[in-house]
Amino acid sequence: MKLLTKYTVTALSELHDQIPPFPRTVAMKIMEEEFGCPLESFFSYISEEPIAAASFGQVYFARTTDGNNVAVKVQRPNLHHVVVRDIYILRLGLGLLQKIAKRKSDPRLYADELGKGFVGELDYTLEAANASKFLEVHSSFTFMNVPKVFPHLTRKRVLTMEWMVGESPTDLLSVTAGNSVGNVSEYSERQKLDAKRRLLDLVSKGIESTLVQLLETGLLHADPHPGNLRYTSSGQIGFLDFGLLCQMEKRHQLAMLASIIHIVNGDWASLVRALVDMDVVRPGTNIRLVTLELEQALGEVEFKEGIPDVKFSRVLGKIWTVALKHHFRMPPYYTLVLRSLASLEGLAIAADTNFKTFEAAYPYVVRKLLTENSAATRNILHSVLLNQRKEFQWQRLSLFLRVGATRKALRLVASNSETSLDHSTSKATDTIDIAYLVLRLLPSKDGVAIRRLLMTADGASLIKAMVSKEGEFFREQLCKIIVGILYQWMIKLFGQGITITQYSRMVLANGPSSKESGLSPRSSLPTYDYNSIFRDRRLRVIFSKVLKSASRDKILMLRFSWASLKIIITASTLACHQLVVSLSEAYLSKIFDAPKRYAVSA
Residue type for 594, please?
A: A
Contact 378, 349 (CB under 8 A): no
CB 243 within 8 A of CB 127: yes
Angle between helices 2-17 and 169-177 (to 10 degrees): 140
- Cα separation, 40 vs 64, in Å, equals 9
237, β-bridge pairs:
144, 231
CB atoms within 10 A of CB 299: 11
Among 223, 241, 267, 433, the active-site one is 223
User: Could you please report the per-residue DSSP string of 433-479?
Assistant: HHHHHHHHHTTSGGGHHHHHHHHHS-HHHHHHHHHSSTTHHHHHHHH
What radius of gyration do the chain's Cα atoms show?
29
In angstroms, rounded to a whole number, what is the distance separating the alpha carbons of residues 305 and 406? 13
User: In angstroms, rounded to a whole number, what is the distance separating the alpha carbons of residues 198 and 169?
Assistant: 9
SS3 65: coil
Beta-sheet pairing, 57-64 with 69-75:
antiparallel
* Of 103, 61, 58, nearest in space to 79 by CA: 58
Tell the burial category of 536 from Cβ atoms under 10 Å away from its Cβ (0-12, 13-18, 19+): middle
Amino acid at 456: T
Beta strands in 359-430 (DSSP E): none
Counting DSSP H helices and E strands in the chain, the numbers are 25, 14
Q: How many CB atoms lie within 10 A of CB 230?
A: 21
Contact present, 599 and 507 (Cβ < 8 Å): no
Taking residue 437's Cβ as centre, other Cβ atoms within 10 Å add up to: 19
Q: How far is CA 397 from CA 136, 198, 298, 301, 471, in A?
A: 36, 33, 22, 21, 11
DSSP letters of 499-545? PPPHHHHHHHHSSS-HHHHT--TT-SS-SS-THHHHH-HHHHHHHHH
**Phi, psi at residue 232, to the nearest 5°?**
-85, 165
Distance CA 29, CA 32 (A): 5
* Among the listed residues 36, 45, 99, the one whose alpha carbon sits nearest the alpha carbon of residue 72: 45
Could you give phi then psi for residue 589, rounded to 5 degrees?
-65, -25
16 beta partners: none
Count, residues in the chain: 602
Give the rounded distance of the alpha carbon of 471 from its chain centre.
27
Amino acid at 343: S
Q: What Å distances lie between residue 524 and 486, 490, 498, 500, CA to CA?
A: 15, 14, 9, 5
Q: Would you call 267 a catalytic residue per the annotation?
A: no
Inter-residue contact 78 to 68 (CB < 8 Å)? no
Residue numbers annotated as active site: 223
